[in-house]
Amino acid sequence: MSSQTVRLPGFRPWLLRVWGLLADGKMHAHLTNAKIARPEPSFRLAIFAAMIAGACTFLNVYCTQPLLPLLMQTFHASEVAVSLTIGAVTLSVAIMAPFVGLVAESIGRKKVIVPALFAMAATTLLTATAQNLNTLIFWRFLQGLFVPGVIAVIIAYINEEFTASAGSVMSAYVAGTVFGGFLGRFLTGLLGAHGNWRSAFILLGILDLLGAFAVRQWLPLAKNFRPAQHVFKSFADTWGHLQNPRLLAVCGMGFTVLFSLVGAFTYASFYLARPPFNLGPVGLGSVFFVYLLGCVVTPLAGRFLDRHGFRRTAALSVTMSISGLLLTLVPRLPAVIIGLAIFSSGIFISQSAATVLTGRVAGRARSAAAGLYVTFYYAGGSVATVAVGWFWLQGGWLACVGLLMAVSLLTLGFSVLGGAKNAEKPAGPLVDTAI
């Protein structure tokens, strides 16, 4: 961070001090010409900070999934109503993602990442104060507004600040997102077993707060960031991308991928809470151990994609997803768990392929293309909570499986439209949509 004085007329000094404290812990970095000596964190601590940032972000996004049957009983609400505790988060992520990137291009990456983590901690703790379902959904919506402050910014930060070792840091971050997604669900299920869902949010909020302090301390200060000169050009770039049919097909693929994942695991919670399974919150939380397969499947998917091409990879992923869904219809718990594992592995492969193809098809203004993809992706998760819920009310899990299989075939169709063979090679991963 520069030691020069930055004058921002119209802002109160105390506001600048607070923002500076949250962003990097230096109270007067923007207010004086004095140089404050602070040793740079070691590379290992930087990797750990990236992992913590990913984990803390995805602790929250889907954490209510194991609690849904409990929330139904607590608030005397329908399955669709309580599933909005998931849909509200993904909706706000979809809304905010394109705009957060513009802010980060202006003021810097770490100055967005760290305050976003603190804000997520605050809203997570406030979620525990909800007295009714509507208030709970409101706080969940606010949580989602701050998620893009990490996921839409940190890839650019890693590529700028770790040019010689971006792969190692990126891998640590992605591993953190996968682990955080699992841990958030598992912990809420564990604590929800005692009937007190509020304690789950208190614990997650404390973990978020500790993680925010760790990232502020250990994530290195930006050295290579250069403020964008024409930030609002991104809007024109996005408009141009909306006229690219192949890119829209890839965005449609992202929509269907998260639609399938959120729809399946949200309503699988209701399915497994009923006879003959009768799983409680702990059992439902433990189901998400299958998410840890993402740490293994994602690297293998990249190798398969490089060797066999996009269309074959997409065909494999959809075949796995449909096969896994069919296996969940066997009324035996091991069969359902194996089916969900196969299904989610197929989704991880689809997601890996789609994120690579985003940059390949966009060709130019790839950051704008990534923002567009993230918006479609999380919009799919938001729509799924309601659409799959309607099928659940009409025909139970069998109807949900039928819908999700049809959506999986739609994923394959979008992949055919988007995956032309002459697309250029991407420079690297562009999109963070960890699931």
Reported as a single tens digit per residue, the pLDDT across 56-99 is: 999 999 999 999 999 999 999 999 999 999 999 999 999 998 88
The pLDDT of residue 4: 40
Mean pLDDT of the chain: 83
- CATH C-level class of 232-435: mainly alpha
Q: Taking residues 306-332, report their average pLDDT.
A: 91
Q: Which residue intervals of the chain bear CATH 1.20.1250.20?
A: 42-229, 232-435
* Domain 42-229, CATH homologous superfamily name and number: MFS general substrate transporter like domains (1.20.1250.20)
pTM to 2 decimal places:
0.83
Lowest-confidence pick of 290-304, 321-335, 416-430: 416-430
Residues 6+ apart with CB under 8 A from 336: 268, 271, 272, 277, 327, 328, 330
- Does position 432 have pLDDT exceeding 80, yes or no? no
* Unique residue bearing structure tokens 């965005």: 251
Which are the contacts of 254, defined by CB distance < 8 A and separation ≥ 6?
351, 354, 358, 373, 374, 376, 377, 380, 433
Under 8 Å between Cβ of 258 and 57: no
Q: Given pLDDT bands bounded at 50, 70 and 90, which one contains residue 162?
A: confident
Token pair for 14: 């105390």
Q: Cα separation of 343 and 322, whole Å?
A: 7
pLDDT digits (tens, 9 = 90+) for 378-430: 999 999 999 999 999 999 999 999 999 999 999 999 988 887 654 444 444 55
The closest alpha carbon to 422, from 239, 246, 242, belongs to: 246
- The DSSP call for residue 432 is -
Supply φ then ψ for residue 55, to 5 degrees: -65, -45
What pLDDT was estimated at residue 10?
44
Measured CA to CA, the distance from residue 148 to residue 112 in angstroms comes to 9
Q: What is the pLDDT of residue 435?
A: 60
Calculate mean pLDDT across residues 253-260. 95
pLDDT tens string 103-128: 767 677 888 899 999 999 999 999 99
Q: Tens digit of pLDDT for each residue in 262-279?
A: 999 999 999 999 999 999
